[in-house]
Amino acid sequence: MILPIIKYPNKNLRKKSQDLSKEQILSPETQGFIVNLIETMFKEDGLGLAAVQVDKHWNMFAVATEDGPMVFINPKIVYKSWLKETDEEGCLSVPGVYGLVKRPKTVIIKALDRNGNKLSMKAKGLFARVLQHEADHTQGVLFIDKTNKITRGDDVLRELNTK
């Protein structure tokens, strides 16, 4: 089932997400939600999608990888490289707007997978950027809060900010 994505300036995008227990993760409700989250991410051509973006305040997100979708539950970025790079980002919750965001080039993330098992991985480049972008969503932070410069859609953003 495709889930409706909430859009900025919806205040629910600013809520911090709640961690899930292993029991909650393994529940039929959560497992069904994970399937729907992934399906929605692919339908919307997203590289990632956080639960908060579909108005579910669970601390989780899905990311598209070369090996298929991955789900990160209760994610914590435990290492960020001091080397940073600036690149353009967009967001399904802020459609039509893109901006330059400076982020660490490499991160290490710890989380639980969709079966409640611990995972830890090092990510570089675009994958690291996507993980950081989605982890920000779980804390109520949007890329427009971190952008150095809006590159496209500043007119859209101005219109959204007047609503």
Catalytic residues: 134
**36-54 in b/e burial notation, b at 16+ Cβ within 10 A?**
bbbbbbeeeebbbbbbbbb
Q: Which residues lie below 8 Å from residue 89, measured CB to CB, with a gap of 6+? A: 98, 99, 100, 101, 129, 133, 143, 147
Q: Strand, coil or helix: what is 23? A: helix
